[in-house]
Amino acid sequence: MLRQIILLITLISFSVQVIAQELHLNIHQEVNKVLEPKEGGLDLKQIQDLTLNDQIDLKISYERLFQAQKKIAQARAEYFPYGLGTIAAMYFLNVWNPLILVELVTSLPSKWYNVQSEKNLRWAQKYSFKALEHNIKAQVAHLYYGLLKEEATLKLTEVQIRLMEKLLTAVKEEVELGISDYTDIENLEIRILDARDIYLKFSAYHAQSTAAFNQMISQDPEFSKLAKLQPVAEFNVRDEYTTNLEQAALAAVERAPEIVSADYMIVAARKAKKSIRWSVLSFSGIGFGYWSRVQVAGSKVEAAELNRELVETTIKNQVYVTHSAFMRAMDLFNAEEAISSGTSFFTEVKIEQFKGREVSLRTLLETELLFVKDYTETIVAHYDSLIKKIDFERAILGTAKDPSIQTNLNI
């Protein structure tokens, strides 16, 4: 009997070493694959150029973006109807809506003004469209980073499932040896079933969101099938982002196309009012309704001026709000990375102990499952911080590291 047990332990140890070479001794390399560059992968700028360029009308670009957002939100609501679906719909369709600032500066109907105002209205519209271009690019970046986050999460979930399946085998062997209880098998089987259920749902959702995204960037089905997104391997470093928010807010106002558009609206309103003052002819006859028309024109000037103030206030508020959100996202990422680094080191120790047969396979696998979980949360926080960074850079139309420098930022 003793010889049989020793033989069984020897066989288990041998099989463990073979299995470990497949995954357990290379767990760090396995999880890092989610950040490896892809041959022919499309980076953010390439994606934005496919969505918005000189060959595509701005209205078409916006419609493609809106349809992609809508389909992705519907897919989330379908596969995750309890809580996440509603949140996702709000997130994709309402947060920093591409039309918010544009509507602020174009809310005064052009029919208010006569022919003498048309030139200024055209300029106002031009700068409103410029603001819309920036917003479309920012929203595309949201979808881009979101898909990369989901793709990485799916791959890491696959790794967790593989680890749990190996763990189940190890636990079954321990039960046969009498050193574990059968309830351990039942609990682990439930964990695996839950993980597979989540994986299948999330995978189906991700397939639909990817299809919607590909439809947005291309009308060529073959290109869409081959399109791959390039992972972002470089992590943001919190200490590199020091910002004087007052100066950033002032710079944002100076750069904002929304402000220029609002100024042209004011000029158009003033010219319209001036032309009315010189006109005493109405459809009712000479002089009829003259003063009322002058008063209406004057109120439109006031409305345009108030609108301009509202736009400036909104832009400044966006600078403070998006910067705060970006800093919180960075703090969260730093916290997750610190935790992940700790479990990574702990896992390395357990691997060495496993090689020296100081710990069991079960102990090693449980440790690695904890590490993969922490690493997954780090990757999620990484892409979330990039999304918040895009929002801040959109608000200031500058770089997050140095807001005093104006760039097009691909947004």
- As a whole-number percent, the residues of the chain with pLDDT over 90 amount to 41
Q: In a 3-state reduction of DSSP, which class is residue 399?
A: coil
For residue range 60-96, list pLDDT tens digits in order.
Answer: 888 888 888 888 878 877 776 654 433 333 333 333 3
- Cα–Cα dist 15/102, whole Å: 64
pLDDT of residue 266: 85
Residue 110's pLDDT band (cuts 50, 70, 90): very low
| pLDDT over 70 at 116, yes or no | no
What is the C-alpha end-to-end distance of the chain, expressed in Å?
72
358 has a pLDDT exceeding 70: yes
Tokens of 217: 């960037």
Do residues 245 and 290 make contact, with C-beta atoms less than 8 angstroms apart? no
Instruction: Give residue 103's pLDDT band: very low, low, confident or very high (50, 70, 90).
Output: very low
Q: What is the pLDDT of residue 157?
A: 92
Q: What is the pTM of this model?
A: 0.81
Of 137, 148, 152, give the one whose Cα is nearest residue 50: 137
CA pair distance 61, 64, nearest whole angstrom: 5
Sign of CA dihedral 147, 150, 154, 160: positive
Q: What residues contact residue 201 under an 8 Å CB cut-off, 6+ apart?
A: 79, 80
- What's the CA gap between 26 and 133, in Å, rounded? 45
Helix (H) / strand (E) element for 282: namely: strand 281-282
Reported confidence tier of residue 392, pLDDT bands at 50, 70, 90: very high
Q: How confident is the model at residue 221 (pLDDT cuts 50, 70, 90)?
A: low
Is 149 within 8 Å of 74 (Cβ atoms)?
no
Who wins on pLDDT, 82 or 20?
82
* Averaged pLDDT, 49-65: 83
153: nearest Cα among 110, 95, 201: 201
For residues 264 and 121, is the Cβ–Cβ distance under 8 A?
yes
* pLDDT given at position 179: 83
Q: Which of 238, 256, 252 is nearest to 389 (CA)?
A: 238
**Cα Rg of the chain (Å, integer):** 29
Q: Which residue type is seen at 113?
A: Y
